[in-house]
Structure 1
Amino acid sequence: MLSDRIVVLDIDRWDAPGIAHDNRAVDDLEQGKVLYFPRLAFPLDAAETALLDPALVDPKRKNISLNARTGVLTGVAVEDARRDAIGALVRRYYEATRALLARLLPGYAAHLHSPTTSLRLHRIGTWQPSWRKDDTRLHVDAFPSRPTGEQRILRVFNNINPHGDVRRWRVGEDFGGLAARYLASIPRYNPAAAWLLHKVGVTKSRRSEYDHLMLHLHDRMKADADYQREGLQQSIDFPPGSTWICFSDQAPHAAMTGQFMLEQTYLLPVDAMADPGRSPQRVLRRQMAALHG
Structure 2
Amino acid sequence: MISPIVSVPTGAPPSGATSLVDALEGGAVLMFPDLDFPLSPFEERFVERPFADGKAKNVNIRGEAATLKGAAGTPEEQAALRALLLRYRGFADDLIRTHLPAYLGRVTLAGTSYRPFEVDQRKLSWRRDDTRLHVDAFPSNPIGEKRILRIFRNINRDGQPRRWRVGEDFGSMAEKFLPRLPGYSPLSARLLAALRITKARRSEYDHLMLHLHDALKQDLDYQAKAPQQDVLFTPGQTWVTFSDLVMHGAMGGRYMLEQTAYLPVAAQADPERSPQRILARKLGRPLQ
TM over 0.5: yes
SS at match of 2:92: helix
Question: Any conservation in 2 of the 1:153–1:247 contact (CA below 8 Å)?
Answer: yes
Q: Which amino acid aligns with 1:5?
A: P
Q: Which amino acid aligns with 2:229?
A: Q
CA distance in 2, matches of 1:262, 1:89: 10
TM-score by length of 2: 0.94
SS at match of 2:17: coil
Unaligned runs of 5+ in 1: none
Aligned counterpart in structure 2 of residue 44 of structure 1, from 25, 30, 39: 39
Question: Any conservation in 2 of the 1:20–1:104 contact (CA below 8 Å)?
Answer: no
Mapped pair 1:66 → 2:61: yes
Match of 1:160 in 2: 155
Question: Any conservation in 2 of the 1:54–1:122 contact (CA below 8 Å)?
Answer: no
Question: Any conservation in 2 of the 1:22–1:104 contact (CA below 8 Å)?
Answer: yes
Mapped pair 1:288 → 2:287: no
Aligned identity (percent) is: 47
Mapped pair 1:5 → 2:7: no
CA distance in 2, matches of 1:35, 1:55: 27
Match of 2:172 in 1: 177
Aligned counterpart in structure 1 of residue 268 of structure 2, from 246, 269, 273: 273
Question: Any conservation in 2 of the 1:42–1:160 contact (CA below 8 Å)?
Answer: no
- Closer, same or farther: CA 96–291 of 1 in aligned 2, 3 Å: closer
Match of 2:20 in 1: 25
SS at match of 2:79: helix
Equivalent residues in 2 for 1:121-132, closer than 5 Å: 121-125=116-120, 129-132=124-127
Q: Which amino acid aligns with 1:289?
A: G
- Closer, same or farther: CA 202–249 of 1 in aligned 2, 3 Å: same
Q: CA deviation at 1:286?
A: 1.1
Match of 1:135 in 2: 130
Mapped pair 1:200 → 2:199: no
Q: CA deviation at 1:285?
A: 0.9
Unaligned runs of 5+ in 2: none
Match of 2:211 in 1: 216
Q: CA deviation at 1:219?
A: 0.4
Q: Which amino acid aligns with 1:19?
A: P
Aligned counterpart in structure 2 of residue 148 of structure 1, from 140, 143, 148: 143
Q: CA deviation at 1:227?
A: 0.9
Question: Any conservation in 2 of the 1:119–1:262 contact (CA below 8 Å)?
Answer: yes
Question: Any conservation in 1 of the 2:120–2:129 contact (CA below 8 Å)?
Answer: no
Question: Any conservation in 1 of the 2:137–2:206 contact (CA below 8 Å)?
Answer: yes
TM-score by length of 1: 0.92
Q: Which amino acid aligns with 1:45?
A: S
Question: Any conservation in 1 of the 2:280–2:286 contact (CA below 8 Å)?
Answer: no
CA distance in 2, matches of 1:74, 1:187: 35
Q: CA deviation at 1:47?
A: 1.1
Question: Any conservation in 2 of the 1:69–1:115 contact (CA below 8 Å)?
Answer: no
CA distance in 2, matches of 1:126, 1:233: 20
Q: CA deviation at 1:136?
A: 0.4
SS at match of 1:50: helix
Q: CA deviation at 1:66?
A: 1.1
CA distance in 2, matches of 1:104, 1:235: 25
